Amino acid sequence: MTTSESAVITSVFVANRGEIARRVFRTARALGLSTVAVHSTADSLMPYVDEADAAVHLPGNAPGDTYLRGELVIEAALRAGADAVHPGYGFLSENAGFAQAVIDAGLIWIGPPVDAISSMGSKIEAKKLMAAAGVPVLAELTPAEVSAADLPVLVKASAGGGGRGMRVVSRLEDLPHEIEAASAEALSAFGDGTVFCERYLASGRHIEVQIMADQHGTIWAVGERECSIQRRHQKVVEEAPSPLVERIPSMRAELFDAARKAAAAIGYVGAGTVEFLADEAGSFYFLEMNTRLQVEHPVTEETTGLDLVELQLAVAAGARLPAEPPPTVGHAIEVRLYAEDPTNDWQPQTGRLHRFGVGVDRVFGRKVAPSDHNLPESGPTRVRVDSGVVDGSEVSPYYDAMLAKVIVWSPERTAAARRLAAELARATIHGVGTNRDLLGWILRHPAFLAGDTDTGFFERHGIGVPVDPAVGQVSALAAALADAAGRVRGVRVPSGWRNVPSQPQRKSYRVGETTHEVAYRLTRDGLVVEDNVQLVSHLPERVVLEVDGVRRTFEVAAYDGLVCVDSSLGSVALTPVERFTDPSQQVSAGSLLAPMPGVVTRVGVQVGDEVKQGQPLLWLEAMKMEHTISAPADGVVGELTVEAGQQVEVGAVLAVVEEDA
């Protein structure tokens, strides 16, 4: 790559937070550039802030008060002496007005031209531009013209992304309500409530092409990615190359040609992604163009050896790209690890992350590198973790619930999936629930391994992760024995030991809605519990048991109100059940509690209204998602304790639905 003298970057300001800020800082440091972070009050102790050479505080927590305040962000960059702004993804990364303001302030914008951002900012106008450029598109439907023959349709927000303002509609009578809901969500998320409809392909494949273009007319199509496995219209698993494209010989060349046409049509410069929806025959249609770096960019880096952030910086400084990008080698798979509660409809979780060890060997303490960007033609499997959190980090309600991206490269796809599933299983994650087990289940699923990964994956195969009650029971026993060892550390006679037969020791733990009660006695002959369990050793942090003749080690970590047990059987988070209930913690029957801290965006009922089971009563926005609070049973709204715009804490009573007399 050759560089012109058009611009010199010495200090990079990242107008973002968390994982992507750490990612950009990593490359900037490697290039000898200084780094500047910006942070809200809630983010003041996050690792990316400490890792920057300088940091500027924006008072407040909500994005609308901090990261979305373009004028404050630019003022922070100028105050810190930065000469370039990298927007990351999300927040203001695709805001043309912000990009222009950065340039007007005399700063280098590490992104595409303002006109290119504007032209792709409206999905409606973007589709018209792409059609004119010869890129295949799905016909747009205005909400008023949708008929029964068009169903199912997808209602989409014209601005923004990430699944916000998106609804699948299968019944014509549901369309007005879903349009209203999608528009309200889009207005809240992006400041633009415009929505449109298009034909919904229930089993399509989500294929995207990474674009990199310089200021001198060179446009690269840097491989494709497949991101078809999605939940709530948000990507869960991403991989490169695409299994579908690998099966259809002519499809890659056609995709790359369409992506380059799309970039050329708007004079694109920098890193971007052209997204398509494809069918099993290889036909594909333009969805949108993301005028920024994508969350899933690591799989492209791992299969090409490129550092896309380094290329962004070089192109912004005026560098020329070589005529052709490097070829792709091997296969990379990325999963998004979210803080979620699998026992409560995968609701986002908040709270302290006591321990976070992903890509770390439990025995040897081995740590993986984020990426080496030095791609051999063949070689051992590589593991990469891009994370915004560390031990002790606080998962707040104000931002996205993603903890990390875990990526594995291997010469062969099945080997990559197998290694990634194993890394997730070995991870130590204490303090919040996660989708870790769901991700492992996907990676081991026969349909995934066969490359059958369209957007209907969860509809066909389900989304629940089977839970073996026996694992919870033996983990609860290990927790009880570790607790007993901890209470008598230094005392020679273990808790529960009796010289003569006596009543067993009893403890109860809850996992989701399941309560595990364990009863044991420690005698001169050892542990008496069940015929198939023998105690080998027990310490406050480690219990070794023989179960059905198989020895297993259980690592036990106790926190306030939480016990985490990790073993080869899986990781189990246990809540100790107190013998006596605190009356102050009890609530009235029919109370609807806030599942997490958030803001009440809408209230759909009044006191005295009759409601049916499952009827939406109010809507709570938290962690970039809108959550519907529904009636638990038929009844009457007896109490309504909140109003629109009110901030609530987790566990707060929002309303009470009383039985209709």
* Residue 473: CATH number of its domain: 3.30.700
In a shared domain, residues 83 and 216: no
Q: Quick one: which of 516, 522, 513 has its CA closest to 543?
A: 522
pLDDT band at 585 (very low <50, low <70, confident <90, very high): low
Residue 1 placed within a domain: no
**Residue-level pLDDT at 372:** 45
Q: Do residue 644 and residue 606 come from a single domain? A: yes
Residue 441: per-residue pLDDT: 96
In this prediction, residue 591 has a pLDDT band, given cuts at 50, 70 and 90, of confident
pLDDT at 388: 96
Percent of the chain at pLDDT above 90?
A: 65
Q: What is the residue whose two structure tokens read 């306030």?
A: 560
Residue pLDDT, tens place only, 315-368: 999 999 999 999 999 999 999 999 998 877 788 889 999 999 997 655 444 455
Q: Identify the pLDDT of residue 621.
A: 81
Q: Is it the case that residue 520 has pLDDT exceeding 90?
A: no
Same domain, 418 and 484: no
Task: Give yes or no: residues 104 and 127 share one domain.
Answer: no
Is the same domain home to 422 and 539? no
Above 90 in pLDDT, residue 181? no
Number of other residues whose CB lies within 10 A of the CB of residue 660: 10
Which pLDDT score is estimated for 501? 57
Q: What is the per-residue pLDDT for 539?
A: 94
CA atoms within 13 A on the CB side of 172: 7
Confidence of residue 464 (pLDDT cuts 50, 70, 90): confident
Mean pLDDT of 383-411: 95
Domain boundary among 199, 225, 247: 199
Element (H, E) at 360: none
Mean pLDDT taken over the chain: 89
Closest CA to 407 of 294, 329, 298, 297: 298
Following DSSP, what letter does each residue of 278-342 receive, concatenated?
E-TTS-EEEEEEE-S--TTHHHHHHHH---HHHHHHHHHTTPBPPSSPPPP-SEEEEEEEEBEET
| 596 and 514 in a common domain | no
Determine the average pLDDT of the residues in 65-72: 97
Q: What is the CATH number of the domain that holds 73?
A: 3.40.50.20
In three-state secondary structure terms, 421 is helix
Most confident listed range (426-440, 481-495, 505-519, 589-603) = 426-440
Which is nearest to 294 in space by CA: 416, 181, 161, 421? 161
- Count how many domains the chain has: 5
pLDDT for residue 34 = 98
Indicate the range of 253-262, 323-332, 498-507, 620-629 predicted with least confidence: 498-507
Q: Identify the pLDDT of residue 199.
A: 83
Q: What integer pLDDT is reported at residue 374 of this predicted model?
A: 47
Sheet with strand 140-141: strands edge to edge:
140-141, 195-199, 153-157, 167-169
Position with higher pLDDT, 493 vs 587 = 587
Q: Which of 241, 162, 553 is nearest to 412 (CA)?
A: 241
What is the SS3 assignment for 110-169? CCCCHHHHHHHHCHHHHHHHHHHCCCCECCEECHHHCCHHHCCEEEEECCCCCCCCCEEE
Are 228 and 373 in the same domain?
Answer: yes
Q: What is the pLDDT of residue 27?
A: 98
- Contacts for 553 with CB less than 8 Å, ≥ 6 apart: 542, 543, 544, 567, 568
- Asked if residue 241 is part of any domain, the answer here is yes
In this structure, are 386 and 518 located in the same domain? no
Is 60 exceeded by the pLDDT of residue 240? yes
Predicted local confidence at residue 651, as pLDDT: 79
DSSP 8-state class, residue 434:
B
- Looking at the fold, whether 404 and 518 belong to one and the same domain comes out as no
> Do 281 and 293 contact (CB within 8 A), yes or no?
no
The single residue of 22, 292, 384, 602 carrying the catalytic annotation is 292
The contacts of residue 462 (CB under 8 Å, 6+ apart) are: none
Looking at the structure, do residues 294 and 179 belong to the same domain, yes or no? no
In whole angstroms, give the CA distance from residue 108 to residue 102. Answer: 7
DSSP assignment string, 12-79: EEESS-HHHHHHHHHHHHHTT-EEEEEE-STTTTSHHHHHSSEEEE-S-SSGGGTTT-HHHHHHHHHH
Q: Domain containing 156 — which CATH number?
A: 3.30.1490.20
Tell me if 3 is assigned to some domain.
no
Q: Give the position of tokens 């026992």.
A: 343
Domain hosting residue 598, numbered range: 583-658
pLDDT (average), residues 528-554: 90
* CATH number for the domain that contains residue 588: 2.40.50.100
Q: Is 292 a catalytic residue?
A: yes
Single residue among 436, 461, 486 that ends a domain in this structure = 461
User: Same domain for 73 and 28?
Assistant: yes
What pLDDT is recorded for position 4?
Answer: 45
Same domain, 606 and 504: no
